[in-house]
Chain A
Amino acid sequence: EPEVTQTPSHQVTQMGQEVILRCVPISNHLYFYWYRQILGQKVEFLVSFYNNEISEKSEIFDDQFSVERPDGSNFTLKIRSTKLEDSAMYFCASSKGLAGPYEQYFGPGTRLTVT
């Protein structure tokens, strides 16, 4: 069964460094999403992406974040200058269409630790 994959599973970085989290969505899906979950807190929506542009973003998704689909398979989240509070689990998801009948499928997550 097709699944969303994410790499790396765990990333440790120093404050101020740039990180890129990678996701490979399910191949025939058109909508891509990033979520984050700070330890002990809710999963929070960051951004949705369709047709090579951002569809929606939350207030969390500020100028230090960016997303890209550099080729036909990868979907990336870049954090330009990491802060301690960026430490969280980051989940990628994809769906065939907009929310509604089109279920979002989640990857296993990347645990980001900023020291």
Chain B
Amino acid sequence: KQEVTQIPAALSVPEGENLVLNCSFTDSAIYNLQWFRQDPGKGLTSLLLIQSSQREQTSGRLNASLDKSSGRSTLYIAASQPGDSATYLCVSTGGGADGLTFGKGTHLIIQP
């Protein structure tokens, strides 16, 4: 059964810093890896999706990488802003009708 672990559980950094969020997964037979953002009490916003054949995806200040062989993904946030404060979820997808497997998330606070 797939397990997704995210480190750190919480992170607080000053505005403007670059930062890296880490994710590891136990079963490398994933179809894709996705990063979501969740604001308190709110829904899930998809940030980046990396297909298993890809190494990375970029969107604006966000860059996500995937290393299937080692079971790791990272989310890099450049020039962080207070509006980036949220919980970031790492999610793996198998190839069937199974649902997604979520990590518990990294709670990020960007200090103004």
A interface, CB within 8 angstroms of B: 31, 33, 35, 41-48, 50, 55-56, 58, 91, 98-101, 103-109, 111
Contacts and interface: CB of A to CB of B under 8 A. Distances in A.
Given A98-B95, A100-B95, A101-B51, A109 B42 contact: yes
B43 A43 contact: no
A68 B20 CA distance: 41
A106 to B, nearest CB: 4
B93 A99 contact: yes
Interface size on B, as a range, is 20 to 34
A106 B97 contact: no
Contacts of B88: none
Contacts of B46: 103, 105-106
Specify which of A42, A58, A107 lies most central, judged by the most chain B CB atoms within 10 Å of its CB. Answer: A42
Contacts of A46: 99
SS of A interface (majority) = strand
A109 B43 contact: yes
Contacts of A111: 41
Contacts of A35: 99-100
10 contacts: A42-B103, A42-B105, A55-B97, A98-B97, A99-B98, A99-B99, A100-B93, A100-B95, A106-B46, A107-B43
For the complex of A and B, 5 pairs with smallest distance between CB atoms: A45-B99, A55-B97, A108-B43, A43-B102, A100-B31
A111 B34 CA distance: 24
A69 B43 CA distance: 22
Contacts of A108: 42-43
B101 A45 contact: yes
Contacts of A43: 44, 89, 100, 102
B104 interface: yes
Contact of B100 (A55, A101, A104): A104
